[in-house]
């Protein structure tokens, strides 16, 4: 016998499995998926590009989504569906026909047990203006007994245009997410999933989406646990009141030569405009909003059937509307790098921002924090974060301080305030984390090329939960070290165990159940990575979270 026969046999088996069919029948018809392999060599089925909503074109543009219909025969599900229309640095990518989702399941290949598996539904980020479900691979999570669903939703003007009334109430992207969750409830058992154990999770705009679902009646009963990554519902960038949009849509109508006698006339005209002309209407937004890519966002709507939000997140949280379900929420230690990272390598832009700091802070105070004393707020910020020494402050020190300001105002303080407001009223456990580890495969906001270690930026933790080479390959070496892999396995353990039983545990920890719930009496958080040295992978439980900085916001911009 050929001594290489076992190797050849294994190789042939792998080729057979990777080319094997995975058939499953759902309410719409039969799907033929494909086979993938997890990080640890586990075989699982992937069903890609499944339509859950009809193409939102024609009269369905700027309208609530409609469930996708059935098909005849066997539908191939071995390639991704279209991404949603978005502006990628001046280039228009994607299609309006984009309401697709992906399902990854180990159950079809490993069916020795009839137990249904917990389901994790991922909502991608991208400032509500970019991104897609296709960017997030299942190779890490599918080492575990979970089913992963990743979903698309309409973005930018197509997902969030609002006339401020019932004609086009807005939140269409959020309603796409609701429709996808209803699809999961109806179909996930066919993939071996438990529709009574659905965990909704997302990061950035995806995290904000999750935290808005947590206060939306439209999402009631569609999920049972949730994970909010860098997206608390009290973040000032996660919501705009509809009165703002009334001004915006008038400007849009003027830009594309549409009449605005009534909302009906404007929307009818906009439905007949090209994608390109509508994408270019971002000029109506202020320069700072466009620089930060914070333009189209969720809003409040008239209280009609199908409404997603009928009040502001602040009021809904105050009214105790946040779903009393187990949840995880947290931030990265230097979230503000998503704004400041580009300034390290662009001296001209850095100089403009430094010279315009007064105007920048005043804009934040007015537009995002709705300060009643803009001048007083601006002076307080300059004193607290910059020590009133702008002229003598060097570039790196200035950017570190600006990063801290953006991190605290837009992420850290809203995160802590959300917990402090909702936790005393809940019976379910919730867990708070601060991700502060910078590995060798750091993301684009954390370690810019040739510019060193600036902190642990926005979306840094995502790369340890998902295999996302397309998201970061331009910036990093994606070959995880042994320590990086340990952190990744830690995150995967905690996220999947939480989806399974509501408790984030991991054998990668010295004590597998180290992470304790956040309570008013014990306001603890899991510190992932040392607070003093972000290249140190140490894990600890802490009861203090930037106390002086949080006190500043509590005094000058209370939520």
- Token look-up 């601060």 returns 434
Which residues, other chains included, contact 551 with Cβ-Cβ below 8 Å and sequence gap of 6+? none
CA distances, 202 to each of 16, 209, 254 (Å): 34, 7, 36
Q: What does 92-108 look like in DSSP terms, one character per residue?
A: EESBS---EEEEEESTT
Q: Are 60 and 172 in contact (CB under 8 A)?
A: no
Spot the catalytic one: 204, 230, 235, 429. 204
DSSP state of 471: H
- Cα–Cα dist 264/167, whole Å: 6
Catalytic-role residue among 301, 335, 460, 461 = 335
DSSP string for residues in 439-468: -TT--TTTS-TTS-----BTTGGGGGTSB-
- Token pair belonging to 198: 């659905």
Half-sphere exposure of 476 (CA within 13 A, CB side): 22
> What's the gap between Cα 526 and its chain centre?
20
Q: Are strands 147-151 and 100-105 parallel, antiparallel or unpaired?
A: antiparallel
Tokens standing for 130? Answer: 């970019």
How far is residue 461 from each of residues 8, 92, 401, 458, 484, measured CA to CA in Å? 39, 28, 22, 8, 11
194: helix, strand or coil: strand
Count of CB atoms within 10 A of residue 194's CB? 16
C-alpha–C-alpha distance, residues 298 and 237, integer Å: 9
* C-alpha to C-alpha distance for 335 and 339, rounded to whole angstroms: 9
Q: At what angle do helices 347-355 and 395-407 cross, to 10 degrees?
A: 60
> Is-catalytic flag, 22?
no
204 catalytic, yes or no?
A: yes
Residue of 341, 370, 369, 340 whose CA lies nearest to 357: 340
Query: What are the start-end ranges of the H helices in 287-394?
Result: 287-291, 313-318, 337-340, 347-355, 357-363, 374-386
Q: Which of 124, 224, 458, 525 is catalytic?
A: 458
> Is 149 in contact with 232 (CB distance < 8 Å)?
no
Asked if residues 308 and 216 have their Cβ atoms less than 8 Å apart, the reply is: yes
Catalytic residues: 204, 335, 458
């Amino acid at each position: 016998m050929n001594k290489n026969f076992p190797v050849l046999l294994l190789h042939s088996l792998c080729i057979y499995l990777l080319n094997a069919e995975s058939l499953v029948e759902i309410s719409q018809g039969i799907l033929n998926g494909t086979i993938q392999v997890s990080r640890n060599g586990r075989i699982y089925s992937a069903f890609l590009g499944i339509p859950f909503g009809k193409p939102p074109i024609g009269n369905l543009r700027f309208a609530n989504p409609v469930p996708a219909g059935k098909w005849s025969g066997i539908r191939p599900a071995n390639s991704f569906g279209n991404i949603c229309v978005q502006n990628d640095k001046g280039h228009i990518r994607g299609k309006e026909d984009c309401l697709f989702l992906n399902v990854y399941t180990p159950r079809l290949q490993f069916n020795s047990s009839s137990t249904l598996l917990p389901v994790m539904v991922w909502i991608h980020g991208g400032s509500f203006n970019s991104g897609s479900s296709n960017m997030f691979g299942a190779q890490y999570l599918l080492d575990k007994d979970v089913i992963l669903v990743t979903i698309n939703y309409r973005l930018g003007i197509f997902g969030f245009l609002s006339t401020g009334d019932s004609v086009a109430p807005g939140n269409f992207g959020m309603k796409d997410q609701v429709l996808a969750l209803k699809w999961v409830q109806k179909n996930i058992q066919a993939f071996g999933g438990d529709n009574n154990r659905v965990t909704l999770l997302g990061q950035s705009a995806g995290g904000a989406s999750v935290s808005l679902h947590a206060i939306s009646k439209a999402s009631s009963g569609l999920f049972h646990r949730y994970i909010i990554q860098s997206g608390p519902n009290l973040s000032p960038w996660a919501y705009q009141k509809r009165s703002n949009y009334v001004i915006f849509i008038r400007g849009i109508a003027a830009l594309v030569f549409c009449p605005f006698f009534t909302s009906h006339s404007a929307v009818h005209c906009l439905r007949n405009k090209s994608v390109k002309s509508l994408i270019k209407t971002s000029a109506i937004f202020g320069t700072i909003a466009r620089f930060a890519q914070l333009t189209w966002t969720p809003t409040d709507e008239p209280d009609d059937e199908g409404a997603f939000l009928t009040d502001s997140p602040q009021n809904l949280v105050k009214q105790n509307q946040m779903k009393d379900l187990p949840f995880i929420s947290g931030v990265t230690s230097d979230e503000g790098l998503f704004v400041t990272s580009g300034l390290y390598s662009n001296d001209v832009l850095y100089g403009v921002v430094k010279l315009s700091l007064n105007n920048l802070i005043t804009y934040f105070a007015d537009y995002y924090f709705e300060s009643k004393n803009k001048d007083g707020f601006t002076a307080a910020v300059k004193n607290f974060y910059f020590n009133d020494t702008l002229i003598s402050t060097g570039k790196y020190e200035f950017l570190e301080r600006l990063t801290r300001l953006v991190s605290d105002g837009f992420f850290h303080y809203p995160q802590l305030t959300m917990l402090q407001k909702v936790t005393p009223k809940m019976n379910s456990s919730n867990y708070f984390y601060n991700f502060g580890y910078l590995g060798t495969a750091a993301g684009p906001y954390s370690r810019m090329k040739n510019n060193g270690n600036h902190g642990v930026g926005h979306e840094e933790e995502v790369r340890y939960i998902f295999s996302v080479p397309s998201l970061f390959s331009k910036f990093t070496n994606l070959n995880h070290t042994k320590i990086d892999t340990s952190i990744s396995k830690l995150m995967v353990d905690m996220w999947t165990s939480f989806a399974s039983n509501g408790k984030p545990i991991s054998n990668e920890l010295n004590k597998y159940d180290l992470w304790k719930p956040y309570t008013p009496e014990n306001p603890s958080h899991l510190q992932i990575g040392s607070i003093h040295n972000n290249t140190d992978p140490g894990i600890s439980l802490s009861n203090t979270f930037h106390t002086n900085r949080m006190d500043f916001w509590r005094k000058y911009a209370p939520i």
